[in-house]
Amino acid sequence: MKILPGAPARLARAWLWLGVLALIGSGVLAVLLVLSRTPGIQDFFPLKSLFRAALVVHVDLSVGVWFMAFAAVIWSAAGRAGFVGLGWTGFGLAALGTAALSLSPFFPGAEPVLNNYIPILKQPLFFGAIVVFASGMMLTVARALLTVRPGGMADPWRLGAFLGAVAAFLSLSSFGWSWLAVPVIQETIYFEVLFWGGGHTLQFQHALLMVVAWLSIAAAPGEQTVGASPRAVSVMFLVAAVPLLAVPAIYLLVPVGSMPHMDLFAKLMIWGHPYMAPLIVLAAWSLFGLRTLPANPAKSAFIASLILFVLGGVLGYLIQGVNVVIPAHYHGSTVGVTLAFMGMTYVLLPRLGFVQAEGQMAVLQPYVYGFGQLIHILGLAWSGGYGVQRKVAGAEQMLTTLPQKIGMGMMGLGGLIAVIGGLMFVVVCLRAMFRRRER
């Protein structure tokens, strides 16, 4: 993917800085989360009171801000010059919203609500931060739709980026539609319903852009093909985006917030994501084609990303009841996306005017992060099979049997290893990003 100089490169650099800073804040909070749920350690660090508030901001920074910021990196890098004011206004609002979001737990009245997709703190500053950030992202998505031109069937990477922007537009529109249509009630179920449709739609954006990252990594060594013609890859992207057609239909035909509405979006997740199977097979074949190349950070991230994403998908079909198999599933899926974005970061650093990430730490970083998350996920899946409930910490986990304690111990160990891997990524990126080279 060739990046145009000027506004596209400058915007991509700014969004990358915002994404890395969000990961730094998320990583600090992740340490508190892991310690508050690890048997033995939790008794010496009474963090139960901080667990839920920290979990809210950790998820919003690591999944919400990081994913959307890197999506904006891709859209800026893939886009043409133009609508510069729109781009910088969107970035400024998103950065302001991120700063307010990070500070919100330290202000009074930060009551956490651990709903799916976008957990919230029932507090004016937090709500204001979400609105400002979402406004910035809507402007950014609008610019992406105006500047990322698919280029026909011969340019699958830009087509994938454009379709990701379409998914983002539908998701943000769904949030707004639900906000206008769902009656405000005091119960926490209100926020679950509010973010349900848009949250499910947002998954398609992340998945489409993850594949863009995979194929960009595969093509990076010599701009070679990825095992299929550009036209065939474009068709695969279009097939993967077909389920998005159901989003406006569900909102138009079914009362927003009703049980049929929520059930249809759950079915869209179950039956819609398999449309990505051809792209995932293509990615696996592309990765096989990289086997003879020397080790490099992007290749390491590609390998770890594909493994974790597939594992998360498999666990999604094994969920039974409300237990920690659910976070095992979404940790696998979201970590797969995160690793893909990490790998594409390594590809983009020199193209954005930064120093290339090199050295043993950079090569090992995705494996350390991926291995830690693998142990973390397997520990959660194991514990879920023995009935450990989700969204609880400390004594509330009711860890009474040895298998439960072993599983959650694995979760804690894997989480700490993953934190180290995440810290390694931040260190590698900061080293490269503080050492700009002339373009």
| pLDDT, position 343 | 95
Fold of the domain built from segment(s) 298-439 = Four Helix Bundle (Hemerythrin (Met), subunit A) (1.20.120)
pLDDT at 275: 94
Please report which confidence band the pLDDT of residue 270 belongs to, taking 50, 70 and 90 as the band edges.
Answer: confident
Residue 18, pLDDT score: 97
* Between 420 and 114, the higher pLDDT residue: 420
Q: How far apart are CA 87 and CA 189, in angstroms?
A: 35
| Per-residue model confidence as pLDDT tens digits over 2-48 | 777 788 999 999 999 999 999 888 877 777 666 665 655 555 554 55
Q: Mean pLDDT throughout 314-326?
A: 65
Closest CA to 426 of 66, 53, 97: 66
pLDDT at 392 over 60: no
Q: How many CB atoms lie within 10 A of CB 181?
A: 15
Instruction: Take residue 335 and report the two structure tokens written for it.
Output: 């970590």
**Are 37 and 412 within 8 A, CB to CB?**
yes
Alpha carbons 311 and 322: distance in angstroms, whole number: 19
Q: Are strands 111-113 and 120-122 parallel, antiparallel or unpaired?
A: antiparallel
If one compares 382 and 277, the residue with the highest pLDDT of the two is 277
pLDDT in the model for residue 100: 93
pLDDT of 173-208, one tens digit each?
Answer: 999 999 999 988 767 789 989 999 999 999 999 999
Q: Answer yes or no: is pLDDT of 297 > 70.
A: yes
Higher pLDDT, 347 or 323: 347
pLDDT surpassing 90 at residue 238: yes
Give the residue, 189 or 66, on which the prediction is more confident: 66
Which of 167-171, 375-379, 391-395 has the largest mean confidence? 167-171
**DSSP per-residue letters across 179-200:** HHHSPP-SSTHHHHHHHHHHHH
Q: What is the mean pLDDT of the chain?
A: 85
Nearest CA-CA partner of 115 in 185, 193, 183? 193
pLDDT at 244 over 90: yes
| Nearest-angstrom CA–CA distance, 116 and 279 | 27
Between residues 154 and 310, which one has the greater pLDDT?
A: 310
Provide the pLDDT confidence category of residue 230 given band limits of 50, 70 and 90.
confident
Q: How far apart are CA 212 and CA 283, in angstroms?
A: 10
Residue type, 173: S
- Supply 418's token pair: 């993953």
Contact (Cβ atoms closer than 8 angstroms) between residue 417 and residue 30: no
Map residue 111 onto helix, strand or coil. Answer: strand
Can you tell me the distance from the alpha carbon of 241 to that of 165, in angstroms, rounded to the nearest whole number?
11
Residues in the chain: 439
pLDDT computed for residue 224 by the predictor: 55
Other CB atoms within 10 A of residue 101 CB = 25
Percent of the chain surpassing pLDDT 90: 51
pLDDT, residue 439, reads 45
By three-state DSSP, how is residue 122 classified?
A: strand
* % of the chain exceeding 70 in pLDDT: 83
Name the residue with tokens 């700014």: 14
What pLDDT is stored for residue 398 in this prediction? 47
Cα R_g (the chain), whole angstroms: 21
Banded pLDDT at 394 (limits 50, 70, 90): very low
Q: What is the pLDDT of residue 103?
A: 85
Confidence of residue 387 (pLDDT cuts 50, 70, 90): low
pLDDT band for 323, please (50, 70, 90 cuts): low
Residues 61, 125: Cα–Cα separation, whole Å: 16
pLDDT digits (tens, 9 = 90+) for 124-157: 999 999 999 999 999 999 999 999 987 766 688 8
The tokens describing 112, both together, are 């956490």
